[in-house]
Amino acid sequence: MLSRFFSTSQPFHYLMGMLLLSLGSLLLLVFMESQWKWEFLIYAIFLPLSLLLVQFIIVKNELTGQNSFGFFATTMLLLTMVIAGVSWQMILCLFLLLLSLRRLLSLKKGTESIRKIFDGSFWISIAILVNPLMVVFIIVVFVAVFLFARNKWNHWVIPFLAMACVGLLTYTAEVYMDYELLSSLWDPALYDLSFLWNVWAPIKTMYWLLALAGVIGLLIYIIKLVDIQQRVRPRFSVLVFSGICALAVTILLQSYFIILLVPALSIFLVRSIEVIRHKIGRELLFILPVLLMVLALLLR
């Protein structure tokens, strides 16, 4: 069975996943666009890096068992997002969000809290420059502070200091480089409601399916259908709020934000696979990301 091949965590799995994302995304983009664009390199570079960050977060925070299920699921879902036409800006936002989550989840250790909160807020602030709607994910920073470091008042101030630092540096760069970075954030058109159902195309089916999976995952977490140990539950809560932010922006403002739901979806999918004892059900759930990728190709 395919799941047995990924039931352990081996360097070969990492190499295969990175090559699939790097070369696979390039081939898919060239095939779909029928031309070469230099921005394709952003996909080829930052998708594998994002994959490694997801695996790092999983391993360091004991979010799943000692296997490569999460690595496989994330690889397939990210390729599905490439086929679905997610922009290169959202690839950068995903990478920056994962950098932030890595630091915020490390707050559980209780050491260097100020530095970690600043770093997590800093990466989100950089992501806001790429896409202003990333400002919603500041909520995730404060959720992490509440769960892991709420005992000191200055911990609540650090996120604002990080945003102020990025804002000041960006304003200085804008003044001397004559290039709009900060000014574009105040464009009201960026924040107009644009519901997921406003514009329909066959490929939008993928966005709806992933959004539905996100809602199901949230319900599973709330009613505790999948057992999560109490000691790791706060870490899952940070991921859940990250997923809620991604889901809200996807449905109400910008559909491309669905890619930011991928890390949380992959992890919850793996947790579901791990608790299922029926072999056929386990295999079907395991190959679900592959089926979604195939469906995306058919709808494209």
Domain boundary assignment for the chain: 2-299
How many residues are recorded in the chain? 300
pLDDT class of 299 with cuts at 50, 70, 90: confident
C-alpha neighbours within 13 Å on the C-beta side of residue 9 = 13
Please compute the mean of the pLDDT values over residues 11-28 and round it to a whole number: 85
Please compute the mean of the pLDDT values over residues 8-21 and round it to a whole number: 80
Dihedral-angle region of residue 178 (phi above 0 means left; psi in -120 to 50 means alpha; beta otherwise):
left
pLDDT class of 3 with cuts at 50, 70, 90: low
**Four-residue CA torsion sign, 296, 297, 298, 300:** positive
Query: Where is average pLDDT lowest: 1-10, 220-229, 259-268?
Result: 1-10
Q: What is the pLDDT of residues 35-89, one digit of tens each?
A: 888 889 999 999 999 999 999 998 888 888 777 788 889 999 999 999 998 999 9
Calpha distance 29→300 (Å, rounded): 12
For the question of whether the overall pTM of this predicted structure is more than 0.85, the answer is yes
Instruction: Judge contact between 133 and 93, C-beta under 8 A.
Output: no
